[in-house]
Chain A
Amino acid sequence: MSQQFEPNIVAFLCNWCSYAGADLAGTSRVRYPANLQAIRVMCSGRVNPLYVMNALQQGADGVLISGCHPGDCHYMEGNFHARRRLGMLKELLEFVGVDPRRFHMSWVSASEGHKWKEVVEKTVEDARAAGPFEGFRRRRIDW
């Protein structure tokens, strides 16, 4: 029996909407796969698009960035900046041959615990389908 591949996913969540939404999923005892670990940032606008590249390089099989819905950003505009930057990063990664299923972005509000679950499931499922990321992952050199 072949074992199912369990992807390792790094997520960047904004403190006010998506991190709170993920907390709400916890409070509501929603169940979702354990493949994803979140890094809390104050705003999705804080996410330097190169974090995505870095995460893939450092061992992630998939990356998720989640922020407030457009218009709801706690800092007014941060998510709009994130959307533009990450939209272009997605084009770039796809062009250099990174499977688009490895990178997702979502809007999850503080009240969308269930949406958070769906987003995690989709992200994990997609990364699983894309398989282990070998691409330009940093390899440990054994001397």
Chain B
Amino acid sequence: MTEKPKLGVYICHCGINISATVDVEALTEYALTLPNVKVARHYSYMCSDPGQLLIKNDIKAEGLNRIVVASCSPRMHEPTFRKSIQAAGLNPYFLEMANIREQCSWVHEDRTEATIKAKKLVAAAVAKVRLLEPLEAREVEAERSALIIGAGIAGIQAALDIADAGFKVYLVEKSPSVGGRMAQLDKTFPTLDCSACILTPKMVDSANHPNIELITYAEVEEVKGYIGNFEIKVRKKARYVDFDKCTGCGDCASACRVANRFASEFDEGMGKRSAVYLPFPQAVPAKYTIDPKSCLYLTKGKCGKAPKCAEVCGAGAINFEQTDELVEFKAGAIIVATGFDVFDATGKPEYGYGQYPNVITGLEMERLVSASGPTGGKIKVFNGAEEIVPQEIAFIQCVGSRDKSVGVEYCSRVCCMYTAKQAHLIVDKLPEAKVRVYYMDVRAFGKGFEEFYDRVRREGVRYIRGNPSEIFKRGNKLVIKAEDTLTATPLEDEVDMVVLAVGLKPRSDYRTTMELLRLSQSPDQFFLEAHPKLRPVDTATDGIFLAGCCQGPKDIPDTVAQAKGAASSAMIPLAKGKVTIGAQVATVFEATCRGCGFCVSICPYSAIELVTVNRMGHMIEVARVNEALCKGCGSCSAGCLSDSIQPKSFRDRQILPQIAALGVLR
């Protein structure tokens, strides 16, 4: 049997974070009155080296075999203290933490109340720790490959890094081409290098790299398993064009009966494409795709006598019989790089987006100034029915950022600078034009940003501090109604074109990704990292990492940095070839198991099965847990009528005494 529990209780002041509200001395005295407690101490920072040393020394000197640390949340420092008691020779699972900071001292003001609550929390931890069992973490083989979802700059960069390190990468992209949002941009701030010029080589590399399997026009449909052993199902949507035969010549697109009739997604609807199309000239892979929603043959079942694309395709690549294909593979780690959508400017109807063709968004502006864009880089817009080269141009910042009225409280971080850049490009292309920017605050915080902002102002761009209240039409001019808040002057500004600096939003289909991978969201609805400061690329699920704007708005250098961070984190299990998985798994007490199989139906990981065992000559069925698949959630246990299946460290016999301890003091 296990030896008699000898407890040490360690109470942290956390500077004054805890001790200002909780009477740590009274708490220590109280702890000494609890059963089996041999040592109770309080100290300014338990997590510091001397703090940990205190525990380690006591374990050795006093022969302690169970430790309670009353400090911050176990979500914060449980691993720290596990390691330190392990270093002192104790099983790391002989630890229980009482959360007297996040859930006590930080949320309560009254010292008496907070101290009573802290006492209860310590009593509960003491009650539980006495009953904990020694556990051992297990190691399993890890698949030496990674799945990356999304092939924008974040996904591409992460894929290249992992592939260069010698691991297999599956790079899955939803649209027909890699490149993502960065491919849509013209120049990048503040250096003004051409976005396509720096991105295209990486796109090509991602397609040609021997270690990267690029799967475009595909969506991840199912993710099962755990770090080191994810089982993935990807649906490759039918392109209706034979991927291997297509030479990318484009004859099909010119021949298409509905050529150039549909809004190009890549050009933000400002350009047109055919039903069979390449999203943009530099698309990778340079393979055509038939859009089933616009193709006559696929929607109506008929396209003239015979589809023209098929007629003209010299390679015979058009194949209307093609169906979706399911690809299955295993991966050791997953990086989510699904990017962002821009704020839908119709959500601010006072700015007339969608109503006046010369009110456009920042992303549309990118396509307008791009040499490969719908106008070949010429800045012209329709004013009513007439196409004009605008001379009076206004930018409005923070459209869909820092705006509670549309439910977006955060700053999108890139709009100030892309506005400055676009203003600069206009000054460059239309030297006669007058450009002004309506802003709330200019946030030019990055490397070279402030300098660029200064440069743009020197070039004659006027910055007016004030948020326009309305845009309306007067004659053939757009009128911006605003107030210059620096001089408290109301003004009406007549312009030819307005560019709305729309903010960044999570992808419209973020829920699907979230449910697929069990991700959490932060209040801004972007995916939640495991820790805002110390684990910015990790998620709550081991082996799943975040890169780029799916985690929150960021510019290209930050995205690339995070992608590289995610890549190097993802490579840890890949390089090791092994992963340690939790020891807190469910275990079956076969003697009482009824073999009813409730737990088998309940387990979301199919980690439990019924096996036949011989009990004194009778063949009976009992549940058995596959420890490699079990995540220790304990749902099986609460559904077991005979309490025969129990998660280690969260057994009924460990939780009920906790409940009892909380009930005693009133």
Contact = CB atoms under 8 A, between A and B. Distances in A.
Given A46-B637, A46-B650, A39 B116 contact: no
Given A19-B75, A48-B638, A78-B633, A54 B102 contact: no
B638 A47 contact: yes
B663 A8 contact: yes
A42 B518 CA distance: 15
B631 A26 contact: no
A22 B584 contact: no
A54 B655 CA distance: 11
Contact of A75 (B117, B514, B604): B604
A16 B638 CA distance: 18
Nearest to B112: A34
Contacts of A76: 518, 604
A139 interface: no
A62 B664 CA distance: 14
Contact of A32 (B107, B121, B511, B660): B107
Contact of B75 (A8, A23, A45, A75): A23
Interface in B157-179: none
B639 A81 contact: yes
Given A8-B663, A23-B102, A17 B520 contact: yes
B612 interface: no
B223 to A, nearest CB: 11
A71 B75 CA distance: 22
A55 interface: yes
Contacts, number: 164
Given A16-B520, A39-B655, A54-B656, A34 B662 contact: no
Nearest to A52: B659
Given A39-B658, A45-B638, A110 B528 contact: yes
Given A23-B73, A58-B663, A74 B107 contact: no
Contacts of A25: 102, 107
Contact of A26 (B73, B522, B632, B639): B73
B635 interface: yes
Dominant SS among interface residues on chain A = loop
A109 B521 contact: yes
Interface in B618-648: 631-635, 637-639, 647
A96 to B, nearest CB: 19
Interface string B499-519: 000000000000100110010
A46 B656 CA distance: 13
Given A29-B107, A37-B124, A37-B662, A73 B518 contact: yes
A46 B639 contact: no
A71 B515 contact: yes
A82 B638 CA distance: 9
Contacts of A30: 107
B4 interface: no
A81 B659 contact: no
Contacts of A26: 73, 101-104, 106-107
A110 B75 CA distance: 12
B139 interface: no
Interface residue tally of chain B, by bracket? 35 or more
B114 interface: yes
Contact of A41 (B605, B634, B639): B634
A30 B120 CA distance: 21
B74 interface: yes
Best-surrounded residue of A16, A37, A41, A76 (most CB of chain B within 10 A): A37
A111 B110 contact: no
Interface in B93-129: 99, 101-104, 106-110, 113-114, 116-117, 120-121, 124
B635 A46 contact: yes
Contacts of B106: 26-27, 29
A90 interface: no
Interface string A9-34: 01000011101101101110111111
B143 to A, nearest CB: 21
A69 B664 CA distance: 32
Contacts of A8: 662-663, 665-666
B249 interface: no
A122 interface: no
Contact of A111 (B102, B523, B632, B666): B523
24 contacts: A15-B75, A19-B75, A23-B75, A26-B101, A29-B107, A31-B108, A31-B109, A33-B108, A34-B104, A34-B108, A34-B116, A37-B117, A39-B659, A39-B662, A41-B634, A42-B584, A42-B634, A45-B635, A46-B634, A48-B652, A58-B660, A59-B662, A75-B635, A112-B523
Given A34-B104, A51-B655, 17 more contacts: A8-B666, A10-B663, A15-B75, A17-B520, A22-B103, A23-B102, A27-B106, A34-B113, A37-B662, A41-B634, A42-B584, A58-B660, A59-B663, A59-B666, A71-B514, A74-B633, A109-B521
Interface of A: 8, 10, 15-17, 19-20, 22-23, 25-27, 29-34, 37-43, 45-49, 51, 54-55, 58-60, 68, 71-78, 81-82, 85, 109-112
